[in-house]
Structure 1
């Protein structure tokens, strides 16, 4: 004992006091639960009533739509206008509504009407004007189905929109609307409740200003408006709706706010007011009866208990004197003294007092043992305490040193605890946490709104955890990107619920993501937008200008000779050149225009607001002029020009992919035109390029598909009219384009490296055809085949000629190969040896198109040729140009002196024939005798010519 004197308080009174407390507590609990039960019954009853009233209101609104629909369907059927062929059906309907609307409005059928045409354009409106979505009107017209909606702005208007047919055709949409006043007064007449409608008010306006609401309509407004104002002053508004109880003038009222269905959330609420004073008074009377009955029971119980406890309490007084021995650990004496109590007052046998004595004896023995055990366990607990202290210190140190922001906060974002890392990062060291808010650390408004919304869901139990991101500025202004995990802490002591928020600094990852996003849309070398970003901006610009009839121009720029710079000076110089070129192009365009690198040495410029092509040409000219100045890259002076292709929206394409493709095509047209210029996209030239590309693709399959054919033009001896040879001329029987002449596809074959297989096919086919003619009795003659430059240079020339002769069985004397003078004279080391070998094998060699190339006489006498063909460009001017006649005479004289045969090509007139024969040229090829013919027709021509020869011999 501590030795201080304590006031004695008898057990009798303690029992009485305890019993009173217990009985009062039991009675109070019973009264409390009864009150709770009554209140719960009352609450459920009120919920059911409120639910029923709201359902009644919603049902009345729902039923009113049908009345509106009937009114809307009735209006087009009323025709008060005279038949007039000069106005549209919609105009007639508009006149009808003008005449009838006031009567409809007076009867309360409608409060507003709107008429729209088939393009959702308003034809007319009557009554209250509200904004109706054009998309809704168009939907009604397209779907031909009614649409009903409820709009609440400064008033609430429910409307029905229906498609209308006039004169048997869809003409437009009719919308009729009505306020909600009729619904309110209809329900008021059915019930004894006061009903109203409140709307969201502009900030600071409205009768319920603290709630941001204004009263649109309210029954018994003079009294009920004051009630609503009192409710708004003393309560927090629940956006989801709810009920509020208000005491006013000794009466209790329940005010119910319920969101109006079919409108934007928080824009309108039903208000239902009910006087619940009678119900609450009934509950209070029931509670008072419970309390009075309980007080009488408690008094009776106390009297009976006093009589029962008198004797036992005397025993407890004696026993209490002995218990002091236990406090002094005198367990033996305590047991000896206590044995005397066991032999007293056995009139009615043993009772609880004897059990108490027995228990006290056992207790003394147990206390004696426990006292020994306590000493042992004290030492053990001390050791455990020390271990727990170490564990606590470890966890505390871990939280304080971890590179994470660990905070606890309440549902309003007020901080309750922050670890050391968070204090430093959030600049809260030495500051009171009670004044700090987590929301204040969020830099952006959308972050605050997101946090509040997620916190609400977390506290309501809708989510077990929430993750958010935020931006935080530290004490020195550095930006930190944080990723937060928010969880609700369990509340086991009745304290306010807390949220545990753990933030991880992800700034490095965010910087990497931003860098990756930048790289995905930019060229890292020039730091300009790349093709992907350019295409996106171009498509946006096209869509913006599409409806405004504006123009968008695309310039496709290619650096001329850039590959030469890269190959000769290295890629590092090339990269620097690209950077400088980028700046030079950028200086020529406006800030509103976009320059992008397409890849390699190609750039593109997007002119988003250009009036016409002239504006694009001005920019292209500025860029060309800028590139006239040389570039200095280190010690190198580099001259690089550009080729620019221009395409314009919508003239050259209506989408981005087409515009960029056409600008690319125009750029290649600029390169074909000599580079260092700009070219505007030309659809005709593009078609030519496409046709050339298509022919190139088809040409690869032409040989395998046997689409190539040979025509033969005869070579006639003008003196005897005898056919002495033919020239094989290839044609292409295209599946869709028809018969194509060589000038359509031979240059393409040379470009695509197809001239070798094509030439070998012509050689084989010509040899086989000539051998076939010989077999059927045609006199032996030469078949002339043209050799291309690539064939002469190719290593297989000799082998292909030998294979063609051996496979066909044709004698080498019957084969003539025509070669062009330019290649032979330019590269005699390549050609002379091969041609000499072929001539030695018996193949006749002819020089084709003599006079159009170098025509070097010093080389001519060294070449192993047997024939020379005068080009048609000289023959066609016989009788017109004396210079060409002189050239032909000189050529014939030269060939005669060298012992060469001469063949004149392109002979078409008698004058040309007479001039040539008079000057010693008797082998003629041209339309004078025959155009190129297919094999069967040529066979007939040879036979006819032979008949003429035989007939001439007979006449002689």
Structure 2
């Protein structure tokens, strides 16, 4: 700081001297004339006394400027830099002296002093003096080497000696005392230290075996390219050497003095220390409860009256303490004996409480008055995912899920902490560490508080997340079909009732589509229930694409679906039905190597036209659906109020329900009708006939339910049931010794049943029945409907050793052609030609011709409806092989004939 103050004082003094000189210069010749005479006077002064200004005052630059800042007179060199001109302008403007420092080339001090002539502004006198004079003055005063360094520029005026550059600092040396030596020192310092480091504090530098102190002093008024600093270099080698010598001498003297002091102190304290050591060695015996030993050791050194000091006081105190501790130890032993029994109880209680907290499957935590968690049990840590360190001290409200807690509950909890409530019950969300939320049923209660640090609230929480999710799932399942996620029947009826009420209130009409999937049971049976479930999900997705979001879709059960269309007329309902049919028609469902196509028969009912209640509309839409099935699968039908149609549809619905119920309850029966071998007059052949028992026990003939079964697609299930019952019966008969042949009737739809042959193969394998004892009958009408499929089926069955008969032969005009094309073993002459065989000549001709054709083709003929002896005699005469009818035997639920080896016509 001393150097800085000296430098600043020298610079300030230099400016003041230059200002004084500027005031004196115009007076060197005395007086002022006009502007022109003042200019000539100053020019004369510069010419006559310029060397005096330079030698005595150190002036290097002298110029005179007009009041308009125009250069009028200049001596030696011109100062025309922009910065200097600005100072001239400022002096003219303010009419006050202006000083400045310009260090672009070399550091020059400038002073611009305004001059007056005739009490008017005459111009500005500018004087410039090198700062090097200030440096020399500082060197003379302080004795230290000093220099000026300025910012280095690329092309300075007059060039720069390379030795004066300091490239590491980007500075140059403008002036320096003892330059030859100090330039080397500065260059070495710049290589080891940055300019900023040296500027912040002085540095000590070793160079050429000597120690230097280098410091930088910024010069006020310089920055940027004009930046300049004074550098002070002090050779402190001798001073440091003197300091080292003095330090060594001081340390040596101090050590000797310390050693002498320690010896004297030891001599003085030797005896007291020995006494103090005796006390220190005796005190540990107090911890060992050796009180008598302490008193024995310390009692030897106690002085009674004269010369007592602090150590004697310590001895007495230690002895007194031994008596007190001995008494306290006796009391502790007594109390320990009294508390020994209670200690076990407290430990058991503590262990019980700790175990209860850690094993309880509920969250247990305590809160202080500020609402922060004091303690959380193990179950709480497991549920929240926090550690004990993370949860303790955390505000309890931060654990509550914000979307599941109301401000009222938070207010109640605050009142509980303040003692205004005793209990709070609430279900709230709990925010876990992983971001998940749990639903907790909380019970908060107020605790008895004895200290401000005690917990004030006990919170017990039961995790009911799974229960809440289960309740939500049950609520959803109560209204939805879990397979398709559509509304179920219960929710559908509720929604439908709401729509009907709104329709009645606002006078709107709407439509109901009711449909099921054609042959869904066949797909379910052939490809498995998983395939059927996948198909139902695909159908549900298609319905969502077709139907508006405002309409209602439901799966009512099985493959039955319903759609309620809001605010539509008949054309709108039909249009939606067509869209549904078209979309379902695009579905192709691959399963087990087969591609199933989907179709639906859709019944349409309009409200309020066709009904105003859910029951009526559902019933009418159901009737319309069956009408659509009767008209052809994959279509739609708009309900009609025609009574005959209604009666027919109701009859069909009735028989469909009866068939389905009979299949479920196994109420289908097999009846057996004997077939006579006319040549041997024996019975070794029975035709299997189907009957159904209704719920009241009455036997129903197949003519009442078979047509409905064929139309509804249930006929395949009936065929499979008949096949299973007949072959099982045949196996039992053969095991009992009855070597009979059973003729099994197949329906007209059997030719498109791909499952029949696999079922037959499985039954033949499992029962062991001789295939040659089985004959299958198919009507001529069914066979000619698809000749290729019928022939293919017959070949597959005959390949297993079974026989085939063509029933109702002779009805068609091309019967003989059919007989040639189909691989049958028997032909059954239709009963319409046999009933009046005795009375009708044409029937006799026709039967005789049929018998001869059959024989010619290698087939055997069976005549049906033989009801008297005269007809049997004619059949024997015409060469017919077998006869069947009421005269031979009526159908019965049991085979009552004797084994065929002994069976005779009764």
Query: Would you call these one fold, judging by a TM-score over 0.5?
Result: no
Coarse TM-score class (shorter-chain normalised) = 0.3 to 0.5
Q: Which has the larger radius of gyration?
A: 2
Q: What TM-score, normalized by structure 1, do the two folds share? A: 0.33
